[in-house]
Amino acid sequence: MEKSNTPIIFDKNTVEFVTVAAEFCGFLERVNETKRRTFVDTALKLLPLLYLKASLLPQGERIDEFDPETFVTEGDYERVRCAIAALMGEKDDYLDVFLDDMAYSDTPIKQNISENLADIYQPLKDFICVYQLGFDQTMNDALVICREHFAEFWGQRLVNVMRALHEVRYSKQTDTDEEAEDDAYASSPFAEDEGYSEDDLYEGLEAGEDDGSGDRWE
């Protein structure tokens, strides 16, 4: 089979990953506009899709010696983390055993859903911002770095926080103030009756730009 000469930054799997990553970042930046039930439901649909698309990213090699520019400040990170923490309330905390620190502990370590999601948001937002600049060389290096960080760091954060969100979503203890959210969930772009399909992933970076989320940090 003849090897494709398409640069990795324009590979089909890259385009799909970029779109899902942009949607995920925009979703977290709009957390103040939703309720806990809807947020958890949507996160549990986006996160496995994000993991799948990241796992399919093509391998590549860096071109430049120096890392691409980063865009997410400590303030940006904290705004996302605090907004999620406020929404999750008492359900933000969970116990985890899949951490490097567990080598020195016999008991699970307390983690936060908000911090885990912000830890995923930061590298993805930096990656998306580099892609929006449109320079092939830095796009290539940002993609390679993002793939490496997925394997080494945020991929594990993703699967850890999914377990915690699953517990919140399917716990028998249901908050009475969330029982009336079915209508809000039905309007989600990920609800089954909306006809959402994987074809929608080909909209590219415009999906992340058109919602105005890029202006949120300015």
* Span 32-90, pLDDT tens digits: 999 999 999 999 999 999 999 999 999 999 999 999 999 999 999 999 999 999 999 99
The domains of the chain, with CATH numbers, are 8-211 (1.20.120.1550)
> Is residue 209 over pLDDT 60?
no
Rounded distance, CA 75 to CA 154, Å? 20
- pLDDT computed for residue 205 by the predictor: 56
Mean pLDDT over all residues of the chain? 82
Give tens-digit pLDDT for 123-151: 999 999 999 999 999 999 999 999 999 99
According to the model, what pLDDT value does residue 96 have? 75
The pair of structure tokens assigned to 71 is 């865009």
What is the three-class DSSP state of 112? strand
Q: What pLDDT shows up at residue 108?
A: 63
Whether the pLDDT of residue 11 is over 90: the answer is: yes
Beta strands in the chain (DSSP E): 93-96, 109-112
Cβ proximity of 152 and 146 under 8 Å:
no
For 118, other C-beta atoms within 10 Å of its C-beta total 24
* CB 28 within 8 Å of CB 50: no
Rounded distance between C-alpha atoms, residue 161 and residue 182, angstroms: 23
pLDDT value at residue 216: 43
Q: Is the pTM above the cut of 0.85?
A: no
Longest dimension (CA), the chain: 59
